[in-house]
Amino acid sequence: MLLTGRGGVTVLKVRGTGIGLQRSEGSGTRLSSGHGKPPSQRVFPIPVRSEVAAESLAFCGTVYAMTNDPEENKVIVFRRAKDGRLSRVAAVPTGGAGTGTREVSPATPEDGVDPLASQGSLTLSRDGRFLFAVNAGSNTVSSFRIALDGRPTLVDVVPSGGAQPNSIDAFGSLVYVSNLGNEANGYASNVTGFHLAKDGDLTPIAGSTRSLSTADAQPARVAFSPEGSLLAVSELTTSRVSLFRVRTDGTLSEPTVNESSGPGPFGSVFLSTGRLLVSEAGANALSSYAVTLDGTLLVLSSSVPSTQEATCWVVATPDERFAFTSNTASGTITSYAISSDGILAVADAVAARLEGEAARPIDSGVSKDGRHFYVLDGGQGAIAAFQIESDGRLTLLQTLKDVGLPELGAQGLAVR
């Protein structure tokens, strides 16, 4: 089959059949008899574009969120159109259990919003081929293989290497998860690693489990550096950020322990330069750091206040001009401008306000083209979609409700 275009005319020829289709722009579809042409070049009129083709052209990517259901955790899958709007397409079980509205730690409010107290409970591999989820209710992690249309297929479910896993990240063939611990083990926290096979299977790495700065530090985010040589873990209750060097066998060094610029380090994101942004729930602020080879953090911007409440999650645009923080208690998003040398400044303290008095923005993500921002509303079981303007402002496109996410307890958001 061959598709050609000449002078505003689209011609679809089926090789070796003498059958063709012709559509002319501006004059609709018309009959072309093909008189004076050999049979193999004759064309007959029907529209080239079908509803299926139109749907395919509109499809741009996928967004994933997690129910965190205590009976059967599921990933809710959304199709992302070119205009940024979402439509629900599937609910896929993780093979594990979540926590529901139960908080994993006594250090966080028992309000059902963000029960895992973390960023990155649901994450994609860097090439978008795999999706990973934590199951804090069953102490397991799940891996999914992603089809071309964005639908995930469950591949593996394995023990997390500790209790109550709450954040996960991947780099190449390595996957690391943070385990918060539970009351039974005195909230003994750790990070544990896995080898990722080409088909998505996970195999625990012998000797990979490491404690954090203290035996009961509460991890809130685990994140690989851009080149995969470091693993950063923000510790909410100790106000520290521990960085581990990644060895060639996939195991970790002892941590380099850094005091956070402000109290309550929570979310984090590495920039392509290797600089690290860390949101601070205690200070309601965002800090930026340069990172040395051994994992020492050097403060660039110290605790730049959002002027909002519960500043917990942070993501950056692909061009790294802006970062967005979710301010859960305020129901708002703050935009920060990032200079070329990593210095932060508030671009708009309220770049967006989510709809509804119960709105509680938590996990968020940005599309790869940098045009759209998505955030999970942990207080209403909804997802809000925004267009990112050139000055960092956010324009609401859609608030998607009643899509299978619980009103309270949902966790994680990943954008493909």
Report which of residues 6 and 273 the model is more confident about.
273
Residue 176 dihedral angles phi and psi, to the nearest 5°: -125, 140
Q: Are 137 and 98 in contact (CB under 8 A)?
A: yes
| Mode of pairing for the β-strands spanning 372-377 and 382-388 | antiparallel
In sequence order, the 6+-apart residues with CB closer than 8 A to the CB of 17 are: 40
| Mode of pairing for the β-strands spanning 372-377 and 361-366 | antiparallel
- Cα 129 to chain centroid distance, Å, stands at 13
pLDDT tens figures, 240-253:
999 999 999 999 99
**Which segment of 44-48, 65-69, 115-119, 354-358 scores lowest on mean pLDDT?**
44-48
Check whether domain 53-415 has CATH 2.130.10.10, yes or no: yes
Q: What is the mean pLDDT of residues 271-289?
A: 98
Looking up tokens 């960092």 gives: 392
162: β partners: none
Whether 124 has a pLDDT exceeding 70, the answer reads yes
| Mode of pairing for the β-strands spanning 394-400 and 382-388 | antiparallel
Residue 147 dihedral angles phi and psi, to the nearest 5°: -75, 170
Looking up tokens 């619980």 gives: 406
287: β partners: 278
pLDDT tens figures, 32-57:
444 444 444 444 444 444 444 444 44
Whether 100 has a pLDDT exceeding 70, the answer reads yes
Mean pLDDT of the chain: 89
Q: What is the pLDDT of residue 49?
A: 42
Looking up tokens 């990973």 gives: 132
Quote the tokens at residue 281. 């729930």
Whether 28 has a pLDDT exceeding 60, the answer reads no
User: CA 225 to CA 248: how far, in whole Å?
Assistant: 15
Q: What is the mean pLDDT of residues 337-348?
A: 98
pLDDT tens figures, 158-201:
999 999 999 999 999 999 999 999 999 999 999 999 999 999 99
Band the pLDDT of 107: cuts 50, 70, 90: confident
Whether 119 has a pLDDT exceeding 90, the answer reads yes
Q: What is the pLDDT of residue 18?
A: 41
Residue ranges covered by each domain of the chain: 2-48, 53-415
Dihedral of alpha carbons 47, 52, 53, 54, sign: positive
What is the arrangement of strands in the sheet containing 276-280, beginning at the earlier edge strand?
A: 265-270, 276-280, 285-291, 297-305
Report which of residues 39 and 140 the model is more confident about.
140
Q: What is the pLDDT of residue 58?
A: 64
User: CA 176 to CA 190: how far, in whole Å?
Assistant: 10
What is the arrangement of strands in the sheet containing 130-135, beginning at the earlier edge strand?
A: 122-124, 130-135, 140-146, 152-159
Quote the tokens at residue 398. 């859609």
Residue 286 dihedral angles phi and psi, to the nearest 5°: -130, 135
Burial bucket for residue 392 (CB in 10 Å: 0-12, 13-18, 19+): buried
**Which segment of 46-55, 171-180, 355-364, 369-378 scores lowest on mean pLDDT?**
46-55
Question: Which residue from 354, 367, 362, 366 is spatially nearest to 398, judged by alpha carbons?
Answer: 354
Band the pLDDT of 239: cuts 50, 70, 90: very high
Using DSSP, state whether 184 is helix, strand or coil: helix
- DSSP letter string, 43-88: -B---S--HHHHHHHHEEEEEEEE---SSS-EEEEEEEETTS-EEE
